[in-house]
């Protein structure tokens, strides 16, 4: 199975300031079709996960443009340009290149 | 809009069985694969299984292989997870999620809680 490692595990951020989460995979996430199926999920308190970003940098329907993804191969980053109160929660990177899909440990975003 | 509703969660003794259901609406269920993903309360996410749109390909995580069976009834727009030989470590919130493309899950249900305890 592909192992996903996130840093940091906790991120206290001031409202209006940027935040960044790193994710590394234990092997390349490039699929045989040439795409890289690295996704980012958000889980607000008491809610199910929600898809934010897929294929490294494509924002899912309804996701604000303050969320962006980047990276390649085994190293990926989620950035929030200006954190808002509604962004509090846990963020997971997830690889969907091969089964089983695997997740990072999660990064808890909290407001300072 | 897409709506997924899980049901069937309960408290069950070790060694027991349980069947979860996931009722889907708001999309053409028979066109999409479906995931089961679980989450121990307060912990991370873990893949359980994936079933292709027509049920002809079903994949299981090693932790549940041989004990859990995933199926679907496209005429009822419903996904199932038959859980046998349950263990305390199977205690978790179980989510169903719709496939977007290949293995990407886009929409998730609210989950149903399974507790395995004597």
CA-nearest residue to B4 within chain A is A48
pLDDT in tens, chain B (118 residues): 999 999 999 999 999 999 999 999 999 999 999 999 999 999 999 999 999 999 999 999 999 999 999 999 999 999 999 999 999 999 999 999 999 989 999 999 999 999 999 9
Are B96 and B5 within 8 A, CB to CB? no
Residue B51: HSE in the Cβ half-sphere, 13 Å Cα cutoff: 23
Residues of B within an 8 Å Cβ radius of A: 35, 37, 44-47, 50, 59, 61-62, 95, 97, 100-111
**Which residue out of A40, A101, A102 would a mutagenesis test of the B interface target, given it has the greatest number of B Cβ atoms within 10 Å?**
A101
Cα B68 to Cα A49, B33, B71, distances in angstroms: 23, 17, 10
Calculate mean pLDDT across residues A87-102. Answer: 98
Digit-coded pLDDT (tens) for A2-25: 999 999 999 999 999 999 999 999
CA-nearest residue to A91 within chain B is B44
| DSSP per residue, chain A | ---EEEE-SEEEE-TTS-EEEEEEESS--B-TTS-B-EEEEEE-TTS--EEEEETTTEEPTT--TTEEEEEETTEEEEEESS--GGG-EEEEEEE-SSSSPEE---EEEEE-
Kind plus residue range of the DSSP H or E element containing B78: strand B78-83
CB contact under 8 A, A96 and B103: yes
| Partners of residue A69 in chain B, C-beta under 8 Å | none
Calculate mean pLDDT across residues A73-88. Answer: 98
Of A69, A43, A64, A67, the closest CA to residue A54 belongs to A69
Nearest to A37 among B37, B46, B103 (CB): B103
CB contact under 8 A, A48 and B110: yes
Contacts of residue A32, Cβ cutoff 8 Å, sequence gap at least 6: none
| DSSP per residue, B4-42 | EEEE---EE-TT--EEEEEEEESS-GGGS-EEEEEE-TT
| Partners of residue B106 in chain A, C-beta under 8 Å | 51, 54, 60
Nearest to A105 among B35, B44, B102 (CB): B44
- Cβ of A50 under 8 Å from any chain B Cβ? yes
pLDDT reported for residue A98 = 97
SS3 B106: strand
pLDDT reported for residue A71 = 98
pLDDT reported for residue A100 = 97
Mean pLDDT, chain A, whole residue set: 97
pLDDT reported for residue B69 = 98
Nearest-Cα distance to chain A for B33, in Å, is 13
**Which residue out of B5, B34, B102 would a mutagenesis test of the A interface target, given it has the greatest number of A Cβ atoms within 10 Å?**
B102
Cis ω on the peptide bond leading into residue A100 (within 30° of 0)? yes
Q: Is A100 exposed, middle or buried (0-12, 13-18, 19+ CB in 10 A)?
A: buried
CB contact under 8 A, A48 and B45: no
pLDDT reported for residue A62 = 97
């Amino acid at each position: 199975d592909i192992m996903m490692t996130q840093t940091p595990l906790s991120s206290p951020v001031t409202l209006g300031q940027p935040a960044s989460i790193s994710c590394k995979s234990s092997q390349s996430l490039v699929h045989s079709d040439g795409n890289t199926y690295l996704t980012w999920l958000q889980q607000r308190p008491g809610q199910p996960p929600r898809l934010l970003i897929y294929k490294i940098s494509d924002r899912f329907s309804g996701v604000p443009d303050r969320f962006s993804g980047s990276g390649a191969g085994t190293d990926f980053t989620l950035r929030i340009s200006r954190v808002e109160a509604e962004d509090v929660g846990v963020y997971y990177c997830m690889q969907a290149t091969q089964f089983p899909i695997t997740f990072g440990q999660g990064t808890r975003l909290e407001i300072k | 809009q897409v709506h997924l509703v899980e049901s069937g969660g309960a408290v069950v003794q070790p060694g027991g069985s349980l069947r979860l259901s996931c009722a889907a609406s708001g999309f053409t269920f028979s066109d999409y694969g479906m995931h089961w993903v679980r989450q121990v309360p307060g912990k991370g996410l873990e893949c359980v299984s994936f079933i292709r749109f027509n049920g002809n390909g079903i994949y299981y995580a090693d932790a549940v292989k041989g004990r859990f069976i995933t199926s679907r009834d496209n005429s009822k727009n419903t996904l199932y997870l038959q859980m046998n030989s349950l263990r305390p470590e199977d205690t978790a919130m179980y989510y169903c999620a719709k496939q977007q493309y290949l293995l990407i899950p886009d929409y998730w249900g609210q989950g149903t809680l399974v507790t395995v305890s004597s």
